[in-house]
Amino acid sequence: MSATSEATSQVPLTVALLGNPNTGKSTLFNALSGMRALTGNYPGCTVEKKIGSFKVGQRKISLVDLPGTYSLAPRSLDEMVAVNVLLGRQSDSPPPDLVLCIVDASNLERHLYLVSQVLDLGHPTILALNMVDVARDRGVTINLAELSKRLGIPVIPLAAHRGEGVAPLREALVADPVRPPHRPLFPAAFEVEQTQLADWLANNGAGAFPAYLVARLLLDVGGYLEQHVSGVDPAALSKTLAAARGRLAEAGCKVPAIEARVRYAWIKTLLDGVVTRPVSRPITRSDRFDRILTHRVFGLALFALLMLVVFTAIYRWAGPLMDLCETGQGLVSELVTARTSPGPLRSLLVDGVIGGVGGVLIFLPQIVILFLFIAILEDCGYMARAAFLMDKLMTKVGLSGKSFLPLMSSFACAIPGVMATRVIENRRDRFTTILVAPLMSCSARQPVYALLIGAFVPAATIAGGWLDVQSLTLFGMTCLGAVVAIPIAWLFKATLFRGETPPFVMELPPYKWPSPRLVFSRVYASAKAFVVRAGTLIFATSILVWAAGYFPEDHTRENQLATQLETLGDQLAEPLARREALEAEASEIESRGIAPNESVAAELKSVRAELDDLAQTDLLAYDDLVTQRNQLAAALLERSYLGRMGHAIEPLVKPLGWDWKIGVGVMASFPAREVIVATLGTIYSLGGEVDAGDAGLQQALKESTWPDGRPVFSLPVALSIMVFFALCAQCASTLMVIKRETNSWFWPAFTFVYMTVLAYAAAWLTNQLATRWLA
Amino acid sequence: MPTLDQLPRGARARIVDVTGDDGLSMRLLEMGVVEGEEIECLGAAPLGDPLEFFLRGYRLSLRIAEARRVVIDS
Ligand SMILES: Nc1nc2c(ncn2[C@@H]2O[C@H](COP(=O)(O)OP(=O)(O)O)[C@@H](O)[C@H]2O)c(=O)[nH]1
Ligand SMILES: [Mg+2]
């Protein structure tokens, strides 16, 4: 048997990696295990499970990355996961053989708080003393040998970003494990209560309970554990705990202050004579930066500028990349179309599969750009300042400063916005932000507004020609979601996520240059997570919607027409190309300006004449066939499952002033709101290739009538549709990302329901009010 | 007794107590806001809230309402 196969058969050594946020935990994780990591979620919570594997010599090691935390005192299920993993109580994660605790050497005092809790667990532990370079620069010296001796565990100095110290650390991982010596930290009175509580738990159905958790029960007033000891009556436990805490207070060990007091006292003794630091706080470059970046005027101005850049980047720079996606999609579609004959297979491939893949990839540019900014801002230390600057404003809305960037990004697209809420550690703030993020007016709503405003809002100006009504309407629609989000966020905070205000208490890390590798790895990880874990769901949805619009009708005739059109198109390639060129010329002439002079008008007229001529002669038969196909496509869509649903919901949408065609359009655009334009194009027999500015489509909408001849569309109806689109959750991709980020189907379902109800009510109200006052 | 939100910019004080026993107090304690420790006020955010402090070699930001929980000596 070879050495490698022996190694692969052996059980890997499980190492849990733990540390405060911003310690270099991710850097160390990557340095040890490369970028290959398995990721997923722990069941029932939003904590990301990340496991890397590597080998030291022949020893296989599996490295479990735990979320960055200041303390092991769980107040929520998410925080409990780390404790459960460490104690081997998490069923889907093997108990750790070793804990690797990483701390910041330049800020040892606070970081050792977590270490002191970890040592209480009694596992073999290694202390990774990271950022020794920073400590050296700040004039902090540490006697490593003495520190290791006093702690009773190995201490390995590291500069993880340069890979320094990683080799000795790898060796230390496979050396004989060293368990920390028992150190009685707490006063005797506490130990007595702890023993009594352990007995009480054993006698009251809790079974064997780890000593660390018994201590946690005593120390964490209102903590997560108090309500979640299986087999024990919570009321009885609360009473027992209250009594024990009362006795402790009398003995001078007031909970919860006692824990911090004894641990920090222990740290003081531990570090006494081990660490020396300069007496006075030196003014660093970071401090000078900070003075400007949090300045009353410049700070806010720079922040505004920065946000403008981020927003512009997502909104505009992503554009060319998204166009590239679309062009690629178009090319592949053409390729497939050329190689298949018209029929269900082609339709599935082009409209279902390629459309579905395109529908996933189209979001990537925005996600990559936003996460690039987030990774850079976070790594250079600005992210915490952004929250610091915006907190007062956001607390007025019931959120916190950290919600600002995710919400602002949602104005471009809710998908990267929802993913960006990961920077908010507090679950209630994070979930509220996720739930209102889809209300922000994303760029996919623009085509709907453009179409309807172009067709139905008068191009008049008010206020002496300073404001035009169309732009005002567009502005109003863009703001509507954000304005509605304020009371909604407040409502969610007061009902669904009730409880004490989440603490802001935040470390402001020093500024530094971002690490390109770390930035890259974060961007890569989020893009991958989106494609793999949300993309598949988005793809499946596209296939489903394609099927609903295609079946159960017989498409034989349509396929025949398509074949005929293709043959005819080949024969008429020349006049068709000529028409395309003429149309381009005409629109170029039209776009030249508002005041056409005579020669321009003449030019346009001659182009138009030639176009008409073409349509009357060479292309007559062809256009006829196109019309036939479009009418057939409209009829097929009407009789498809989707069309039938549109008809079925007509009574429901009538109060909004809509007919079944709008109903179908809205139904079809639940997966992706921008689809409405193409769907309306198909329903109105214009084919699916129209765009929002299409004069033909705007005309068709204006001419659309009820069976009794009244026009369907009016200003109130157009407004009610726009309001509906502004508030409705018509984006399967967002819902799938919410599913992934909350790790639950409940929250996307809830988002869908609340937004649809809200949109319906608001659309109804709009129609009522507008009919009364505007029509 | 004065509380931390009253500490003027640039001034230092010693922490006397953290009141309450909810999640906020626990968070403050974990972050090292513990009786006997020295803390310095570095300033406030442009909109006046939150505040910025220096203790145990790092910078900590607290809302005014949170700083009010921390009793100081002067
Ligand atoms: N100077 C210095 N910077 C480091 C060291 N280790 C990590 N960093 C940087 O510290 C920042 C935070 O690191 P990261 O791994 O994201 O920390 P995490 O929040 O604990 O995962 C990154 O910019 C790293 O490049 C180190 O030993 N010395
Ligand atoms: Mg990290």
C-alpha pair distances (Å), A131 with each of A20, A128, A159, A275, A607: 13, 10, 5, 15, 72
DSSP A705: B
Q: Are A433 and A422 in contact (CB under 8 A)?
A: no
Question: For residue A568, is pLDDT > 80?
Answer: no
Residues A157, A199 within the same domain: no
The pair of three-digit structure tokens given for residue A580, joined into one six-digit string = 């395309």
pLDDT in tens, A705-720: 787 778 888 888 889 9
Given A113, A277, A299, which is nearest B57 (Cβ)? A277
DSSP A354: I
Ligand 2 centroid from CA A181, angstroms:
30
In a domain, A93, yes or no: yes
Q: Does A532 touch chain B (CB under 8 A)?
A: no
Q: Is A755 exposed, middle or buried (0-12, 13-18, 19+ CB in 10 A)?
A: buried
Using a CB-CB cut-off of 8 Å, the residues of chain A touching B62 are 504-505
Q: Is A208 exposed, middle or buried (0-12, 13-18, 19+ CB in 10 A)?
A: exposed
Using a CB-CB cut-off of 8 Å, the residues of chain B touching A281 are 54
Question: For residue A9, is pLDDT > 80?
Answer: no
Ligand whose nearest atom lies closest to the CA of A28? 1
Q: Does B64 touch chain A (CB under 8 A)?
A: no
The pLDDT, as a whole number, for residue A285 is 79
Q: What distance, in Å, lies between the first and last C-alpha atoms of chain B?
A: 8
Mean predicted confidence (pLDDT) in A365-374: 86
The pLDDT, as a whole number, for residue B40 is 94
Mean predicted confidence (pLDDT) in A283-296: 83
Query: What gap in Å lies between CA A490 and CA A399, rounded to an integer?
Result: 8
What amino acid occupies position B41?
A: C
Query: Nearest-5° angle of CA B37, CA B38, CA B41?
Result: 135
Ligand 2 centroid from CA A539, angstroms:
30
Q: Does B31 touch chain A (CB under 8 A)?
A: yes
**Dihedral sign computed on CA atoms, order A20, A21, A22, A26:** positive
Q: Are A729 and A438 in contact (CB under 8 A)?
A: yes
Q: Does B71 touch chain A (CB under 8 A)?
A: no
Residue A383 neighbours by CB distance under 10 Å:
19
Mean predicted confidence (pLDDT) in A86-109: 92
Query: What gap in Å lies between CA A358 and CA A355, rounded to an integer?
Result: 5
Average pLDDT of every residue of chain A: 85
Mean predicted confidence (pLDDT) in A234-258: 92
The pLDDT, as a whole number, for residue A40 is 77
Ligand 1 centroid from CA B60, angstroms:
19
The strand pairing partners of A731, in sequence order, are: A672
Mean predicted confidence (pLDDT) in A198-216: 89
At A775, the pLDDT band (50, 70, 90 cuts) reads low
The pLDDT, as a whole number, for residue A680 is 79
Query: What gap in Å lies between CA B52 and CA B4, rounded to an integer?
Result: 11
Place of tokens 């490295």: A63
CB contact under 8 A, B30 and A260: yes
Residues A113, A20 within the same domain: yes
Ligand whose nearest atom lies closest to the CA of A525? 2
- What is the edge-to-edge ordering of all strands in the sheet holding B12-18? A506-507, B58-62, B51-55, B38-44, B12-18, B70-72
Mean predicted confidence (pLDDT) in A591-598: 64
Residues A66, A170 within the same domain: yes
Question: For residue A7, is pLDDT > 70?
Answer: no
Mean predicted confidence (pLDDT) in A369-386: 88
In a domain, A18, yes or no: yes
Question: For residue A507, is pLDDT > 70?
Answer: yes
Q: Are A135 and A51 in contact (CB under 8 A)?
A: no
CB contact under 8 A, B47 and A257: no
Which candidate, A239, A103, A110, A122, places its Cα nearest to that of A179? A122
Count the helices and strands in chain A (H runs, E runs): 37, 12
Query: What gap in Å lies between CA A706 and CA A271, rounded to an integer?
Result: 83
CATH of the domain at A139: 3.40.50.300
Residues A111, A32 within the same domain: yes
Using a CB-CB cut-off of 8 Å, the residues of chain A touching B24 are 500-501, 503, 505
In what helix (H) or strand (E) does residue A127 lie, and over which residues does it extend? strand A125-130
Residues A265, A238 within the same domain: yes
- Residues 6 or more apart from A707 whose CB is under 8 A from it? none
In what helix (H) or strand (E) does residue A774 lie, and over which residues does it extend? none
- Residues 6 or more apart from A699 whose CB is under 8 A from it? none
Q: Does A220 touch chain B (CB under 8 A)?
A: yes
Query: What gap in Å lies between CA A225 and CA A507, rounded to an integer?
Result: 26
Residue A775 neighbours by CB distance under 10 Å:
11
Q: Domain-by-domain residue ranges, chain B? A: 4-73
Strand A155-157 vs strand A125-130: parallel, antiparallel, or unpaired? parallel
The pLDDT, as a whole number, for residue A1 is 40
CA Rg, chain A, in Å? 32
Residues A42, A164 within the same domain: yes
Given B22, B26, B59, which is nearest A508 (Cβ)? B59
Residues A116, A12 within the same domain: yes
pLDDT in tens, A62-83: 999 998 899 999 988 888 999 9
Mean predicted confidence (pLDDT) in A670-679: 78
CATH architecture, domain defined by B4-73 = Roll (2.30)
Written as one string, the DSSP assignment of A176-211 is PP-PPPP---S-HHHHHHHHHHHHHHHHTT--S--H
Q: Which of A35, A50, A285, A515 gets mutated to test ligand 1 (max ligand atoms within 8 A of its CB)? A: A515
**Dihedral sign computed on CA atoms, order A179, A182, A183, A189:** positive
CB contact under 8 A, B52 and A508: yes
| Domain containing residue A160 | 3-174
Residues A154, A10 within the same domain: yes
Chains A, B: CB contacts within 8 A come to 120
Which candidate, A281, A360, A440, places its Cα nearest to that of A672? A360
Residues A37, A137 within the same domain: yes
Question: For residue A436, is pLDDT > 50?
Answer: yes
pLDDT in tens, B35-57: 999 999 999 999 998 999 999 98
Of A5-19, A409-423, A617-631, A724-738, the range with the highest mean pLDDT is A724-738
In what helix (H) or strand (E) does residue A395 lie, and over which residues does it extend? helix A382-396
Question: For residue A5, is pLDDT > 70?
Answer: no
- Residues 6 or more apart from A574 whose CB is under 8 A from it? none
pLDDT in tens, A441-466: 887 787 788 888 888 888 777 777 77
Query: Nearest-5° angle of CA A137, CA A141, CA A142?
Result: 130
Residues A268, A161 within the same domain: no
The pLDDT, as a whole number, for residue A131 is 95
Q: What is the domain count for chain A?
A: 2
Using a CB-CB cut-off of 8 Å, the residues of chain A touching B60 are 505-508
The pair of three-digit structure tokens given for residue A20, joined into one six-digit string = 């405060």
The residue whose CA has the least distance to atom 14 of ligand 1 is A24
C-alpha pair distances (Å), A474 with each of A461, A543, A698, A768: 14, 32, 17, 20
Residues A223, A130 within the same domain: no
The strand pairing partners of A561, in sequence order, are: none
User: pTM for this one?
Assistant: 0.83
Residues A156, A73 within the same domain: yes
Atom of ligand 1 nearest to the CA of A513: 23
Q: Are B30 and A70 in contact (CB under 8 A)?
A: yes
The residue whose CA has the least distance to atom 9 of ligand 1 is A24
